[in-house]
Structure 1
Amino acid sequence: MYAEERRRQIASFTAVEGRVNVTELANRFDVTAETIRRDLAVLDREGVVHRVHGGAVASQTFQTTEFSLDARFRSAPTAKSAIARAALQFLPESDGGLFLDSGSTIGTLAELIAERPQSRYWSVVTNSLPIALNLANKGLPEVQLLGGSVRAITQAVVGDTALRTLALMRADVAFIGTNALTLDHGLSTADAQEAAIKAAMVTNAHKVVVLCDSTKLGNDYLVSFAGIDDIDVVITDPSAPESFLTALRDREIEVVVAD
């Protein structure tokens, strides 16, 4: 595991548990205590956690940092591939409509959707420029890219034109990515315009399936776009804290752990 991915998991685990100690983290990630101390020092400087004697406590600040689409694809690629494969079970059995937002894990799912024989029966609506081009190049006959402005950092279409179009649409399933997921604030992201598109997809879908690797659990970003009660399914990876998954199940959310 790369240091960056380990630190993201440490940040998530700290956010969920509230407090962590060096010894437990060293055992969890099979590294030395000194490595964990260095990780905590980096996270403390970034404002993600607060160092305390023997470990760290969660920071209460809202995050605003965005990463490029390439950087997102490089983060936790194994987990994202497993999550995308697990999401296939929620595709319509025959014809149906899909919303695909602009998340990196959703992009991995789109690759798999293009390989399914049934894909020619599905109508796909997306605000992701790369996803729309990929699905069209693979020969899917019903792919609609929302119109509007393109955000360079995520290559996502946003704006009033896209929102007006979505207001007229309904989908059987919305596959949604997120920067963060907490029990109190639900799903959140850094940009208000992208949050608005995600919220519209959530509102206008019969079933909402959230693809969320474990590094995002327990974190909060600046703009909330859906509450816990808006979610039907959460798909994550085995590194997710069991206490968090239990809390989701207690709220009658279906939890799938992809491995």
Structure 2
Amino acid sequence: MYAEERQQAIAGLVADRGRVAVTALAEEFGVTTETVRRDLAVLERAGMLRRVHGGAVPAGALTYVETALSERHGTRGEQKRKIAAAALDLLPGADGSLLLDGGSSTAALAELLPGDRRLFVATHSVPLAARLSTMPGVSLHVVGGRVRGLTQCAVGEQAISTLADLRVDVAFLGANGITADHGFSTPDEAEASVKRAMIRAGQRVVVLADSSKLGREHLVRFAAPADVDVLVTDADVDPALVVRLEDAGVEVVVA
């Protein structure tokens, strides 16, 4: 394989996986780590990726750009359904309590909540509240505040104050970016503040995120790996990233 062909292949892997490691690329293409680093330098100068410690991420991985909820619902639907199904094993028992963050993966979990189990569910998501209000067995608590149109979730001091008074069995959160170094991140500070309050309210913290979120870093970190008990993701995840997260103390469940 010529250098140009290898570099194009590497760029494709970064786009698909979100993050790649130098050592993994060297093994995959049968070249030295020094050769891979030279390839990454060429691709970075071309604006096709961004080098980070030990590997590379997409050029736009560190960003404040946020995707609207309606767009997220239309992507990776099958993976999110599998993640939600695996997350059912992490629900509390009858008369248990949980927090549901806004987002497409947590929405998939809401769709699968068992109708024969009494659960207290709190959420700051307007669409999730509307869905949960019709579900038998669910005692719904809506966290209020200023609603952001982009995510359709309540944020601000009112939401944070309400969450400060709650203590639930499990808090289920979403994330826009996840790395072992930067932790769990999102583009918006207001959303990050609510997520931090949710983490403080949960006896156990579970993040639901499809594999495209792993290896990406966004503007605002809302949790270090030590703050999260379990990450549920899909089978397309890079095994090297799983190992790094597990080494950082996060239990990773691959759906």
For Structure 1 versus Structure 2, the TM-score category normalised by the shorter chain is 0.7 to 0.9
Q: Secondary structure at the match of 2:253?
A: strand
Change (3 A) 1:106 1:60: closer
Amino acid at match of 1:127: H
Structure 1 distance, partners of 2:81, 2:13, is 17
Aligned pairs, how many? 228
Pick from 2, 10, 30 the counterpart of residue 14 of structure 2. 10
Q: CA deviation at 1:196?
A: 0.6
Q: Secondary structure at the match of 1:181?
A: strand
Change (3 A) 1:211 1:44: farther
Amino acid at match of 2:116: P
Q: CA deviation at 1:97?
A: 1.1
* Residues 146-177 of structure 1 deviation map (CA, whole Å, 9 limit, x = unaligned): 11111001101111111111111111000010
- Structure 1 residue runs of 5 or longer lacking an equivalent are 1-6, 26-40
Q: Superposed, which structure 2 residues align to 1:168-187 within 5 Å?
A: 168-187=165-184
Q: Secondary structure at the match of 2:67?
A: coil
Q: CA deviation at 1:17?
A: 1.7
Change (3 A) 1:19 1:11: farther
Are residue 132 (structure 1) and residue 129 (structure 2) matched?
yes
Report the equivalent of 1:78.
78
Report the equivalent of 2:65.
65
* Residues 186-225 of structure 1 deviation map (CA, whole Å, 9 limit, x = unaligned): 1100111111111111112111111011101111000110
Q: Superposed, which structure 2 residues align to 1:1-259 within 5 Å?
A: 10-11=14-15, 13=17, 15-17=19-21, 49-50=49-50, 57-58=56-57, 59=59, 62-113=62-113, 115-118=114-117, 121-258=118-255
- Structure 2 residue runs of 5 or longer lacking an equivalent are 1-10, 30-42
Higher-Rg structure is 2
* Percent of paired sites with the same residue: 39
Amino acid at match of 2:92: P
Q: CA deviation at 1:250?
A: 2.2
Structure 1 distance, partners of 2:219, 2:23, is 22
**TM-score normalised according to structure 2 size:** 0.80
* Residues 89-112 of structure 1 deviation map (CA, whole Å, 9 limit, x = unaligned): 001122111010002100110111
